[in-house]
Amino acid sequence: MLHRAADNGSLMMLKIGDLTLHSPIMLSPMAGVSDLPFRMINRRFGCGLAFAEMISARALTYRNSNTLKMLSTHPTDRPLGLQLLGNDPKIMQRALDILCDYEFDVLDINAACPVSKVTKRGEGSAMLREPRKLFEVLKAVVAHSRLPVTVNCKLIYPARFPSSHQ
């Protein structure tokens, strides 16, 4: 929810669950880019909410060392969001169990990534072709998460990407 200043219409704050952001500047999760040093540089320039790199729920449940490194943070790296990628409610819940050991403020579910290595597994934007499955994933995540949950999605599924059952 955005609140506007009464006097000039400029953005004052954004509220996500109980988290209030006083800067409208956000850093998106970018694979291979939004690591801890990059986030800290952006915070010096007023970044109000930063996201770590997109994390695969499946890789997290395997405790993949590269995936665990992407969870690196620092006490001044706040507020911090985590974007989780996956299409299986049980795996998403197992990933959330692992994430209880880490400090994040917002959980975002990726239903937008159009990259073929993601969509061919039925993840990312491919989930928009299976709205019931997306609903089941979201229902499981919201029920299991201690954090406010958001969803990153596209309004229209790109036709050039095959569905997960093609």
- pTM for the full model? 0.86
User: What are the phi and psi torsion angles at 116 (to 5°)?
Assistant: -60, -35
CA distance 163 to 121: 9
pLDDT tens string 56-100:
999 999 999 999 999 999 999 999 999 999 999 999 999 999 999
Q: What is the pLDDT of residue 1?
A: 45
Contact yes or no for 81/52 (Cβ under 8 A): yes
Say which residues have a Cβ less than 8 Å from residue 137's Cβ, sequence separation at least 6.
Answer: 86, 87, 88, 89, 92, 109, 127
Catalytic, 47? Answer no
Three-class DSSP category at 151: strand
Point out the catalytic residue in the list 47, 100, 113, 153: 113
Q: What is the pLDDT of residue 156?
A: 63
> Which is nearest to 146 in space by CA: 5, 7, 18?
18
Q: What is the pLDDT of residue 24?
A: 87
Q: What is the pLDDT of residue 5?
A: 42
Q: Cis link prior to 79 (omega < 30° from 0)?
A: yes
Overall CATH class of domain 26-153: alpha beta
Q: What is the pLDDT of residue 154?
A: 76
pLDDT per 10-residue tile (average), the chain, 166 residues: 50 83 92 96 96 97 96 96 98 97 96 94 94 97 97 72 50
**What's the per-residue H, E or C state across 75-90?**
CCCCCEEEEEECCCHH
Say which residues have a Cβ less than 8 Å from residue 76's Cβ, sequence separation at least 6.
Answer: 40, 43
